[in-house]
Structure 1
Amino acid sequence: MSADQKQRSIRCLVAKVGLDGHDRGAHVIARAFRDAGFEVIYSGLHKAPEDIVQAAVQEDVDVLGISILSGAHNALIPKVVEGLEEYGAFEDTLLLVGGVIPDEDKAKLKEQGVAEVFGPGTELEETIQFIRENAPER
């Protein structure tokens, strides 16, 4: 078996947390990630933070990308971080947030453990490149 065959592709969970019902962007991201060669799991709509943590742990993902447009990011993202920490999965999971996040909230999210926040208009290739450069190696 060659080194390329042994290399595991990057596993990503694209998740919608809370009551946010807008998922067009999440579908676009999931498709772009798949086309980039990543393994992609999509959570579906209206997931509790605990549900997303469970899926991330059970699926052994490298990247957890949360799409949120509801404005509840300051309440919901810390719950995801806490859940990942409880399972010992936080250090092995690249946590990304995408959506309409006010600039003043981005630094706070990063302090809480979010690796990067991607807003509307971010080029898909920029997000893909960030993942390739920062996903944990296993």
Structure 2
Amino acid sequence: MQLGSVFIWNSFPFRVEGKEKNRYFVYFGESRYPDNPIKVFLITTTSRIYHYEEEGARKSHNYYRFKAGSLGFVEESILDVDSYYDIDKEVFEKHKEDIEEKGKLPETILKNIYYLILKSKNISIKVKQDIHYNYNLEGITGLKRPKRK
């Protein structure tokens, strides 16, 4: 899978609340140091747009909005950078049969999302550095490096 791959994880088993359901994700690579275990970085999307509107509970989140029918998204969707997952690579690979790739984000959108990732308070500096490295591996260079605040 490549940086920026859009995919559906059928019956996503790691929901914080509620039952298993199909979830859209965007793939942001994996941890670069030989962590034990190696992590895969994913950000999920939601079609519950009202959470991000003026009176919504998540209006202050860092997010990117996709139109229905674009880049593999069936419905209008929000990529909520603050809804980030790091999953053991071994566990991710065990679920490959439940994962269906739908498309890939273009470089311009990936750059916009990168700057949202930098602003996120939910993603550690170490993970931000790994994601920066993954962008460079993908040939997306010249991006601002993550810094400690």
TM-score range, shorter chain: 0.3 to 0.5
**Higher Rg:** 2
Choose between structure 1 and 2: higher strand proportion. 2
TM-score by length of 1: 0.33
TM-score by length of 2: 0.31
